[in-house]
C-alpha cells in the first residue's frame, strides 16, 4: 500500500490523489518485478497491426514515482522497479505494465463493471477475448427504507 495518500482533512474517506493502489487496496506484483512483463505482447494485445491506442501511453510520474496512467480507472499505476534511461524503452515498459494490469482484470474501473454497467459488455473489455459479459441485468439502486413521494 502506498505511503503517501493525499487525504482531505475534513473528509478523511476522500483523497485528492490518483493512485490505483488506493483504489484497489493493494499493490500488484508487476509493479515491482520487471520479469513478469516478459510475456506481454503489445501488438497482440491491441487492435490492428501495431500498438494502436497504446501509442499515446508514456511513462509519467506521480508522487515522484514513475507511473503509467490507467484511463479505465482514472488513476496512476506506479512502477517500483529500476527503469532504463532511454525514453522509448521506458514508454514500452509503461505500456506493458498497463496492458498486463488491464488483462489481469485488476484495474479498479473493470472491477466496478459488474455492479454499475447498464448494458451488456465484456468485463475485461477488448484486452481479453471471451471474458464474462456483464451489465445484462442492471437495476437501478434502491435506498433501503426510502420510497418516492406520491405525485
Q: Which residues here bind other proteins, judged by CB under 8 A?
A: 46-50, 52-53, 55-56, 71, 119-122, 125-126, 129-130, 133
How far apart are CB 55 and other proteins at their closest, in Å?
Answer: 7
Tell me the pairing of strands 65-70 and 75-78.
Answer: antiparallel
CA dihedral 121, 126, 131, 134 (to 10 degrees): -20
In angstroms, give the least distance from the CB of 130 to other proteins. 7
DSSP 8-state class, residue 26: S
Query: What separation, in Å, do the N-terminal and C-terminal C-alpha atoms of the chain show?
Result: 49
Cβ-based nearer residue to other proteins, 72 or 81? 72
- Closest contact distance (angstroms) between CB of 46 and other proteins is 7
The smaller minimum CB distance to other proteins, of residues 2 and 126, is found at: 126
- Torsion angle, alpha carbons of 28, 95, 62, 102, to 10: -40
CB of residue 142 vs other proteins: minimum separation in angstroms? 23
121 in Cβ contact with 134 (< 8 Å)? yes
Q: Which is nearer to other proteins, 32 or 50 (CB)?
A: 50
Q: Would you say 58 or 80 has its CB closer to other proteins?
A: 58
Which are the contacts of 53, defined by CB distance < 8 A and separation ≥ 6? 46, 47
Amino acid at each position: 500500500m502506498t505511503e503517501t495518500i493525499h487525504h482531505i482533512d475534513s473528509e478523511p474517506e476522500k483523497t485528492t490523489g490518483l493512485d490505483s493502489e488506493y483504489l484497489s487496496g493493494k499493490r500488484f506484483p508487476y509493479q515491482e518485478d520487471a520479469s513478469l512483463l516478459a510475456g506481454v505482447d503489445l501488438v497482440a494485445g491491441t487492435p490492428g497491426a501495431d500498438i494502436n491506442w497504446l501509442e499515446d501511453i508514456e511513462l509519467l510520474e506521480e508522487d515522484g514515482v514513475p507511473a503509467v496512467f490507467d484511463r479505465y480507472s482514472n488513476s496512476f499505476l506506479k512502477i517500483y522497479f529500476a527503469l532504463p534511461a532511454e525514453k522509448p524503452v521506458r514508454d514500452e515498459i509503461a505500456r506493458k505494465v498497463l496492458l498486463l494490469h488491464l488483462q489481469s482484470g485488476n484495474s479498479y474501473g473493470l472491477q466496478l463493471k459488474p455492479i454499475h454497467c447498464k448494458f451488456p459488455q465484456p468485463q475485461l473489455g477488448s484486452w481479453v477475448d471471451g471474458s464474462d459479459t456483464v451489465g445484462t441485468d442492471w437495476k437501478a439502486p434502491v435506498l433501503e427504507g426510502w420510497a418516492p413521494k406520491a405525485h
